[in-house]
Amino acid sequence: MEITFGSTKVQLVEGDLTRETTDAVVNAANKTLLGGGGVDGAIHRAGGPQILAECRKLGGCETGEAKLTTGGKLAARYVIHTVGPVYRDGQHGEPALLASCHQRSLDVALQHGLESVSFPAISTGVYGYPLDQAAEVALGAVHEFVIEHRQPKLVRFVLFSPAAFQAYSAALAQVAQRL
């Protein structure tokens, strides 16, 4: 599924983020930036020890913020590490923090002249964010950013399950209706 917002293609695919060939992939990390399970573990396994060596120098990352390393052995040249919110009940600032993850990651991409960025479904695994709510926040945040900045050229969401793909597809269709 693909929709163009302004000058940016927003694509949804089902697959494995570590195989992406976009300029950057976004990692759903934790505040230490020192690795973990889920997509974070997969990125460090596939990218090799260089990513962790660079992360050690970054001094962690606040929730809703984003920091860049190279991609090590990944096909993607860079990894943008962001920290999603742990979901409690949706009443503790989770939507604003999740939106910030997407917008700050895209800020970092633009600061480094990157033209294509792939995101996982941030916070929807270990951090427990309900898929449909996360999808709405993620697509809404990306839509707002690319309409304002008209960059990058491509934003792709790489969803790891049919359920995630369906949730993000429904949210993308909803955002497109705002056009």
Pick the catalytic residue from 40, 89, 107, 132.
40
Report which residue type is found at 11: Q
The verdict on 58 binding ligand AR6 (CB under 6 A) reads no
Residue 41: both structure tokens together = 């573990």
Count of chain residues binding ligand AR6 (CB under 6 A): 25
* Structural contact between residues 86 and 127, judged by C-beta atoms closer than 8 angstroms: yes
Per-residue x/- track, 28-57, ligand AR6 (CB under 6 A): xxx-----xxxxx-x---------------
The window from 5-13, 23-31, 68-76, 149-157 that contacts ligand AR6 (CB under 6 A) reads 23-31
Tell me how far, at minimum, the Cβ of 146 lies from ligand AR6, in Å.
Answer: 21
The window from 71-79, 102-110, 114-122, 141-149 that contacts ligand AR6 (CB under 6 A) reads 114-122
The verdict on 120 binding ligand AR6 (CB under 6 A) reads yes
Q: What is the rounded CA–CA span in Å between residue 90 and residue 93? A: 7
Is 132 catalytic? The answer is no
Q: Which residues 143-162 are close enough to bind ligand AR6 by CB under 6 A?
A: 158, 160-161
In the complex, the residues that contact ligand AR6 under the rule CB under 6 A are 16-18, 28-30, 36-40, 42, 84, 120-127, 158, 160-161, 164
* Catalytic positions, written as ranges: 40
